[in-house]
Structure 1
Amino acid sequence: MRRTALPVLLLLPTLAFAAQPRPTPAEFANDAVIVDTHIDAPSELLKSWRDLCNETPDREFDAEKAHRGGLDVAFMSIYTSPEEDTAGTARQKAHMEIDAVEAMTARCSSEFAKITEPGDYLRLQEQGHRVLLALGMENGAPIGDDLSQLQVFHDRGVRYITLAHSHSNRIADGSYSLDRPWHGLSPFGEKVVAEMNRLGIMVDVSHLSDESVEDVLRVTKTPVIASHSGLRHFTPDFERNLSDALAKKIAKAGGVVQITFGSGFIDARAAADTTAYFRELAKFQHAQNEAKARGEAVQSFEDWDAAWDKSHPKYATKLSQVVDQIDYAIKLIGEDHVGIGSDFDGVSGALPEGLRSIADYPNLIQALRDRGYSDATIRKVLGGNLMRVWKDVDMAGAKLRGEMR
């Protein structure tokens, strides 16, 4: 009896462990580190204030949704437009958006905390589970032609900068722009990248032309990110998404591609409309400027934009299309170089069914499980990879500054 009973007893712990159920997607979301690198709450707050400390039905980001979705680190997008750059108001607007984030953090400190260094994550979470707000600047326009402004914005907490947006600027050519004066980075842009490397600010290549991305990869001494991009494999001729070749180069240099959720990035028809929108907008703005010079009446942007939306209805998209992108990216560049950058509150509600707000990350987790991905791989995609790159850039910056970490 003893000879037979002993092996059974030894097996019991193993059998008990094997019988443990896999955590539900919601439980897994609360346990995993989820980092979303692109949420447009700040610019929306300036347009129309909302109390994001509580449930806010007409916004895709708020504290209540964040807790339901398991969000840990949210990069708040400090967005300024090319028009604000031209008008000379981009710097002021950027500081106002940062002020809005800081005010929200101070007003509901039990829900939000500001994070500026990747190493602060554990310390801040030990003080109570809160959504940690990091800052990413979408469009380098606020620095103007003054390299010292990078230090100013670093001091305010900016930890990545998207070098250009929908138009080319003094730093780099943009993917939507018809006017590409630099054929990549400008000479000033090369200095911007070098100074960002030194300060430990991640260089973001989303929104850049292919030539600009190539130049960034040639110049940078640290890994780069694409904070919110899709893959051009699914959207032919849509330069805003990354080609396979560029995605591979970003990964080879240690960077990460953060897959975005917006319909315009995951659906070929919607992507074509997005390109057409920015091309027609550029023509509209040029015509309006000429009309103003002649002293003629001009149409408001709001009226033009509303007319465009009326004639170009949004295409319905599905969660599976986002998972297709993630699946393809993992197979193309490896599970260590893929993450998420939703663009919540930045695509006017043009989002796939099942991923309509930050409360829906558990749906993404289940969909990735359904594709056969392990929880270990899903953890990397949800935030592990981005936190690694952020740490790498932070440490590389310290070395370039001659500091010890």
Structure 2
Amino acid sequence: MKLFSIGKLKRKMLGPEEASPLLAKPEKFEHSEDNSRGLSSRWLTWGGVLRFVIYWLVVVFVIQHFTGWASKVVDAVVGLPKDPRKAAKRILAKAPVIDGHIDLPILVRGLYANNASAFDLNGELPQHVDIPRLKQGQVGGFFWSAYAACPDWIGHDDGPDFLNSTWRVRDTLEQIDISKILIEKYSDTFQLALTTHDIYHAIRHGKIASMIGIEGAHQLGNSIAVLRQIFTLGARYVTLTHTCHNAFADSCGTLPSKWGGLSPLGYSLINEMNRIGMLVDLSHTSDDTARQALKHSKAPVIWSHSSARAVHTHERNVPDDILSMVGIGENKTDAVVMVNFAPDFVADPGEATVQAVADHIEHIAKVAGKKHVGLGSDFDGIPSTPTGLEDVSKYPELIAELLVRNWTRSDIEGLTNKNLLRVMKGAENVAHKLQKQGVEPAYEYYDKRTDLGRRQEL
């Protein structure tokens, strides 16, 4: 087919006298009014080409950088696959799981003495986590738990006032060290993430965002100064207690209460965590500690690996009266409760299944709201797993179960990462505000220490 120019077509229809002079080709170039019109026409033509090129560059940019949004539009029009497993994988491709608590570092300590050359994460590790299974489970990030057991777990006695040396700070630093070594060694898979921006960047570039959490304030050596240094080394949450009381707070363990919740130093610790942007983690804490921390914290908080007590009775799980304190609005504190997969916390012996874990998720969503629930598996830190959630490759099975229960794509995206990211961003914003206001570091220290002089009055 022959293509005609607009000018030729118009001249053919109107005749040479009636055709627009802007479409007529000048015989030669002269500095005349008519030639100026011809020159303007050329510039208009090139301007059209330029606009066309810019338009398509913008289209390509949008396609490259907002494919997730485009996918959602397609899903809204066409719908997700009817098969819940296929639908789960589709959702996770754009909203991968960020797990609040994985104990890979303590596994490496226990089995390989923190020797990163003694095993290959690209191979199959003996418990629940390795790189092939992380990719199969569509994991976008997780908190590496830098864990050092309570002193009595390893035969140490830190004394009634927690003053006896127990090497907990040393062991914590070693856990941070091996986590960062592994993140760097397998940098084609992992990327250290210190901010929400880092997490988005890692996921966008196909990496697994790697954050570090400290599982117990007994690992701080009774010192708020140690908190600051651990933050500098990359930690982004501290669990206020493990299964032992410490100088800052009471644990949910079976021991009689020592502080009635938070100690005076515990309130100062939370103030400093808010100031620097360290997330307050309430897993393992006593109910009184959790209630007081929720009321006192200026920033959103997390439960990195806890489930719902109303579904299964366990002191580690969160009761409904505390869940009801969680929310956005007056007399509420923004938070995310990241559900633990440990069978003992999920169901009676032999009854822990992927469906039972989904029950915990649904209950927390019912009481606190779907914007306040996440996933904190405790993989590599638990001796057994629920049926259907045997390792990190099985997250899609849990998402499929929730889809069967009529959870929407938006609900799932909140569960897998957006709820946590909102809370993290909230803590970052509070820290920025407090630092901009010039709030000074917390200088309080544990008053039972004998190695420091008394505070000098000016």
TM bucket, shorter chain: 0.7 to 0.9
More divergent stretch after superposition (79-88 vs 101-110): 79-88
Q: Which has the higher contact order (CA 8 A, sep 6+)?
A: 1
Deviation at 1:16, TM superposition (A): 11
Query: Is structure 2 residue 315 aligned with structure 1 residue 239?
Result: yes
Report if aligned partners of 2:198, 2:209 keep a CA contact under 8 Å in 1: no
Q: Secondary structure at the match of 1:397?
A: helix
| C-alpha distance in 1 between matches for 2:369 and 2:211 | 26
Aligned residue type for 1:359? S
Report if aligned partners of 1:29, 1:361 keep a CA contact under 8 Å in 2: no
Query: Is structure 2 residue 433 aligned with structure 1 residue 399?
Result: yes
Aligned equivalent of 1:58: 126
Deviation at 1:123, TM superposition (A): 2.5
Q: How many residues align?
A: 344
Aligned equivalent of 2:182: 104
Deviation at 1:226, TM superposition (A): 0.8
Match of 1:79 among 136, 144, 147: 147
Match of 2:378 among 324, 332, 343: 343
Aligned equivalent of 2:78: 18
Note the alpha carbon deviations across 1:303-354, whole angstroms, 9 max, x for none: xxxxxxxxxxxx3521100001111111111111111100001111x21111
| C-alpha distance in 1 between matches for 2:419 and 2:76 | 32
Aligned equivalent of 1:38: 101
Query: Is structure 2 residue 299 aligned with structure 1 residue 265?
Result: no
Deviation at 1:115, TM superposition (A): 0.6
Query: Is structure 2 residue 231 aligned with structure 1 residue 154?
Result: yes
Structure (1 or 2) with the greater helix fraction = 1
| C-alpha distance in 2 between matches for 1:55 and 1:20 | 33
| C-alpha distance in 2 between matches for 1:15 and 1:243 | 37
| C-alpha distance in 1 between matches for 2:286 and 2:234 | 27
Q: Secondary structure at the match of 2:272?
A: helix
Aligned equivalent of 2:56: none
Report if aligned partners of 2:311, 2:363 keep a CA contact under 8 Å in 1: no
Deviation at 1:14, TM superposition (A): 9.9
| C-alpha distance in 1 between matches for 2:308 and 2:365 | 11
Q: Secondary structure at the match of 1:396?
A: helix
Q: Secondary structure at the match of 2:209?
A: strand
Query: Is structure 2 residue 234 aligned with structure 1 residue 199?
Result: no
More divergent stretch after superposition (197-206 vs 84-93): 84-93
Aligned residue type for 1:82? C
Report if aligned partners of 2:80, 2:87 keep a CA contact under 8 Å in 1: no
Mark the CA change 1:233 to 1:125 in structure 2 (over 3 Å): closer, same or farther.
closer
Structure showing greater radius of gyration is 2
| C-alpha distance in 2 between matches for 1:197 and 1:183 | 22
Report if aligned partners of 1:33, 1:384 keep a CA contact under 8 Å in 2: no
Aligned equivalent of 2:361: 326
Query: Is structure 2 residue 448 aligned with structure 1 residue 370?
Result: no
Identity %: 29
Note the alpha carbon deviations across 1:173-220, whole angstroms, 9 max, x for none: 110131321010111111111100101011011101111111112221
Deviation at 1:20, TM superposition (A): 6.8
Unaligned runs of 5+ in 1: 1-12, 271-314
Query: Is structure 2 residue 388 aligned with structure 1 residue 354?
Result: yes
More divergent stretch after superposition (359-368 vs 249-258): 249-258
| C-alpha distance in 2 between matches for 1:187 and 1:333 | 29
Aligned residue type for 1:58? P
Aligned-residue RMSD, C-alpha: 2.2
| C-alpha distance in 1 between matches for 2:75 and 2:106 | 53
* TM-score of the pair, normalised by structure 1: 0.81
Aligned residue type for 1:326? I
Report if aligned partners of 2:88, 2:403 keep a CA contact under 8 Å in 1: no
| C-alpha distance in 2 between matches for 1:15 and 1:98 | 41
Report if aligned partners of 2:218, 2:246 keep a CA contact under 8 Å in 1: yes
Note the alpha carbon deviations across 1:258-303, whole angstroms, 9 max, x for none: 1111101111x35xxxxxxxxxxxxxxxxxxxxxxxxxxxxxxxxx
* TM-score of the pair, normalised by structure 2: 0.72
Deviation at 1:403, TM superposition (A): 7.2
Report if aligned partners of 2:241, 2:249 keep a CA contact under 8 Å in 1: yes
